[in-house]
Amino acid sequence: MLKQFLPNEHVNSVFDIHPNELKKRGIKGIITDLDNTLVSWDTPGATPELIKWFKDMEECGIKITIVSNNSELRVKAFADPITTPYIFRARKPMTHSFTRAIHAMNLRNDEVVVVGDQLLTDILGGNRLGIYTILVVPVAKSDGIATRFNRLIERFILTKMRRRGWITWEEK
């Protein structure tokens, strides 16, 4: 049961995910969360550094789709200026939106990675489909109200994983 929440990889930020490394592993697409993965939950748009990261991925032929549980207004306002496809109110960890994103990118599950900051939504959803998952340290220390409860459960799960020796990184 706990292994469903175990990411394949852990990084400090999306900037630690490099297109050439993904290409070497046969990855052609990224499904990424938005809030506290790409930018803090209360930041409306992409930073210049993030815009460059998206462009670098695109130049290497890696497609990106944002899959967020947030509202259309929030996700559209972020994604449209950087011309990135998105799915809003995704209801993660349910798998339907992940599957939609994969089909829209015209890829297979083994050609995609899921990137997110939450075990209970992003990692669990990706793992349920057998997709390679990358957990990032949340961009902000604060969360929206709905996420705060998830973080409590997440800390409990991470503690159990750490005690079993499944993870070695330290929380920041």
Of 17-31, 36-50, 63-77, 130-144, the poorest mean pLDDT is in 130-144
Q: What is the pTM of this model?
A: 0.91
pLDDT band at 47 (very low <50, low <70, confident <90, very high): very high
Of the pLDDT bands very low, low, confident and very high (cuts 50, 70, 90), residue 144 is low
| Domain extent at residue 87 | 2-163
For residue 37, give the nearest of 122, 120, 117 by alpha carbon.
Answer: 117
Does residue 171 belong to any structural domain of this protein? no
pLDDT above 70 for 146: no
Phi, psi of 132 (to 5 degrees): -60, 130
Strand, coil or helix: what is 33?
coil
- Mean pLDDT over each residue of the chain, to the nearest integer: 93
Please give the tally of structural domains in the chain.
Answer: 1
Q: What is the SS3 assignment for 74?
A: helix
The answer to whether 33 and 117 have CB atoms below 8 angstroms apart is yes
Domain containing residue 73: CATH number? 3.40.50.1000
168 falls within a domain: no
